[in-house]
Amino acid sequence: MNPVHPEIAALRRRVQGLLTAALIATNVIGALVVVGLAALLMPAPGMSGDLVRVTAIAVPVYVVAAVAAGTLWGTRGALRTLRWAADGRRPTDAERTASLRVPLRLTWVQAALWGIATLLFGGLAALVQPAVMLTELLVVAFAAVVVCAIAYLFGELALRPYAALALAGTAPPRPVTGGVNLRMLLFWCLGTGVPVAGLVVTAALAWVRGDVSTTKLAVSVIALGLVVLCFGLLVTVFTARAVVTPIASVREALDRVRAGDFATRIPVYDGTELGLLQAGFNGMAAGLAERERLRDLFGRHVGHEVADEAMRTATELGGTVRTVSVLFVDLVGSTALAASRPPEEVVGLLNRFFTVVVDEVARHHGLVNKFVGDAALAIFGAPAPRPGHATCALAAGRAIARRLAEEVPDGPAGIGVATGDAVAGNVGDPRRFEYTVIGDPVNEAARLTELAKHTPGRLLAAWTAIEAAAAEEAARWSATEDVLLRGRTRPTTLAVPR
C-alpha cells in the first residue's frame, strides 16, 4: 500500500473532524427544533409528566446514538469512498461520481436516522399520551427536514477539497449532486419552507382543536415569524455565497486572461452546473493558451505581420501588385565554410548571422520573408503597406552591414537592396502554401547581392531605391556606375553608402 502523503493525511483528518462536528451540530440543532416546536405546538395543557420524563431521557439518548451511528455509517463510509485520495491516485469515473455524491449520501443517512426518530417518538407519544401523538410526529418530521438540509450543506462545504481533487483536470459530464436546483430547494426549505409550514400547522391545529388561547397563538406566530426573518436572512446570505463564490472565481480568472495570463486556471470544486462553468473556463483558457502558442509559432515561421494578416483576412492563393523594397543578404563563401568547419560551428555562425539580420529588419519595420540556406530575403512594404519602405530597407541594409562587420567578422555577407513593383501574396497549393513576393525587385536584389560580395563594404543598392527614399536617407548614398545585371534587359545604376 502506498504511504499516505502528509498533506492528504492532514486533509483527511480535517475533513473527518468537520464531518463529525457537522454531524453533532445537525443533531443538536434537530433536538432544539423539536423542543422549540413542541413548546409552541403542543395542545393545552401540554405534555403530561410521564411523557416529559420519557422524552427527556429518550431525546439525549437517541441523539448520542444517532451521532455514533452516523459517524460509523456516514462519516467512515464517506472516507472509504474517498480512499483514492489517500492512495495518491487519480479517481476513476465511478469513484469521481461517488465522491461528488457523498453529501447526498450523508443526507440520506440523516434522513434514515431521523425517520427512525419520527417513528420512535411518535410511538412513545401514542403509548404515554395519545392526544399529542400527531403533534409529536409533525414536530420530529419538521426537525428531520431541517437536519437533512443542514447535513447536505455542511457535507458539501466540508468536502470541497476532495471535490477539487476529484475534478482536477476534468469536469463532471453532468451535475451529479442534483445541481443548483437541489441546492436552492434545500436553502428554501431551511429559510422559508419549514418555518412557514410551522405557521400553517400552528394555525391548523389551533383551528381544529379550538382550545388554543389567543395569547399562545400570537406567541407561536411571532416566534415562527422571527425565525423566518432571522434564519431566512442567514440562509439567503449562505445561498448567495455558495452561488456567487464559484462565479466570482471565474470572473477574476477572466480578468487575468484578459490581461494576457493564459496560464490561469481555477480549481473545480463544485459538482453542480457551477462546477461545469469552472471546468469550462479552464478548457477555454487552455484553448486560448494553445491558440496563442500556435499563433506565436506561426508568426516565428512566416513573420508576425504575415500571421496577423492571415488572421484578419481570408486565406486564398494569389496576390496583388504593389511597390515594395527588397533586401537580400547572403554569406560569402558558404560552400567552403561548410566544408572546412564542423557542422556545429557552421550552425552557430548561421545563427549569429541571422540574429543580426532579423534584429535590424524588425527594427526597421520589415519582414524576413524566408531563409534560403545561408541567405535571407526581407520585404519592406508588404504584406501591410508602409510609407517610406525604401528608406527603411536602405537604413536596414546599412545597419546590417555595420553590425556584421563588428559582430560576425568570420561571416562576411553581400547585401543588395532594390525597389519596384512585385506580386505579393500566397503561392503554392491550398494544402500547403507560403506568403512571398515575386517580381523584378527580388531578382534585382539577388543579383546586387552577388556583386556586393566583391565590393568594399559589401553593400549595394539600385538607384531606383535611392530615388524612392526620403531625402535624409538618400543623402547617405552615392551613385557609382551602370551595370547590366544577369537576366535583365536594361542596366542598373549602382549606389553605395557614402
If you average pLDDT over residues 279-300, what whole number do you get? Answer: 72
Say what the pLDDT of residue 1 is: 43
Say what the pLDDT of residue 473 is: 93
Q: For residue 155, give the nearest of 70, 216, 94, 85 by alpha carbon.
A: 70
* Grid cell digits, residue 393: 530597407
Query: β-pairing, 432-439 with 413-429?
Result: antiparallel
Among the ranges 5-19, 202-216, 288-302, 377-391, which has the highest mean pLDDT value? 377-391
Q: What percent of the chain has pLDDT over 90?
A: 14
Q: How far apart are CA 218 and CA 3, in angstroms?
A: 62
Regarding predicted confidence, which is higher, 216 or 381?
Answer: 381
Which of 126-130, 227-231, 322-326 is least confident? Answer: 227-231
Q: What percent of the chain has pLDDT over 70?
A: 73
Average pLDDT of the chain, as a whole number: 77
Give how far Cα 155 sits from Cα of 110, 211, 371, 400, 495, Å.
11, 42, 63, 69, 83
pTM above threshold 0.75: no
Does 459 score more than 50 pLDDT?
Answer: yes
Regarding predicted confidence, which is higher, 75 or 227?
Answer: 75
Regarding predicted confidence, which is higher, 298 or 236?
Answer: 236
- Residue recorded with cell 400552528: 202
Own/partner pairs, 253-256, CB within 8 angstroms, 24+ separation: 253/281, 253/285, 254/281
* Grid cell digits, residue 300: 516565428
Residues 471-485: pLDDT tens digits?
999 999 999 998 888
Say what the pLDDT of residue 94 is: 78
DSSP assignment of 203-234 equals: HHHHHHH----HHHHHHHHHHHHHHHHHHHHH
If you average pLDDT over residues 224-242, what whole number do you get? Answer: 70
Does 327 score more than 50 pLDDT?
Answer: yes
Residues 98-149: pLDDT tens digits?
777 777 787 788 888 888 887 887 787 777 777 767 777 777 777 777 777 7
Does 59 score more than 60 pLDDT?
Answer: yes
Does 47 score more than 70 pLDDT?
Answer: no
Which of 114-123, 200-209, 391-400 is least confident? Answer: 200-209
Domains and CATH numbers, the chain: 6-258 (no CATH), 317-497 (3.30.70.1230)
Say what the pLDDT of residue 326 is: 93
Does 448 score more than 90 pLDDT?
Answer: yes
Does 199 score more than 70 pLDDT?
Answer: no
228: left (phi over 0), alpha (psi -120 to 50) or beta: alpha
Regarding predicted confidence, which is higher, 444 or 64?
Answer: 444
Among the ranges 212-221, 236-245, 267-276, 414-423, which has the highest mean pLDDT value? 414-423
Say what the pLDDT of residue 43 is: 54
Regarding predicted confidence, which is higher, 446 or 27?
Answer: 446
Q: Is the peptide bond before 383 cis (omega within 30 degrees of 0)?
A: yes
Regarding predicted confidence, which is higher, 278 or 310?
Answer: 278
3-state secondary structure of 330: strand
| Confidence class for position 394, pLDDT limits 50, 70, 90 | very high
Does 217 score more than 70 pLDDT?
Answer: no
Q: For residue 148, give the nearest of 245, 47, 252, 23 by alpha carbon.
A: 23
Q: For residue 235, give the nearest of 285, 266, 191, 174 by alpha carbon.
A: 191
Regarding predicted confidence, which is higher, 301 or 97?
Answer: 97
If you average pLDDT over residues 304-325, what whole number do you get? Answer: 66
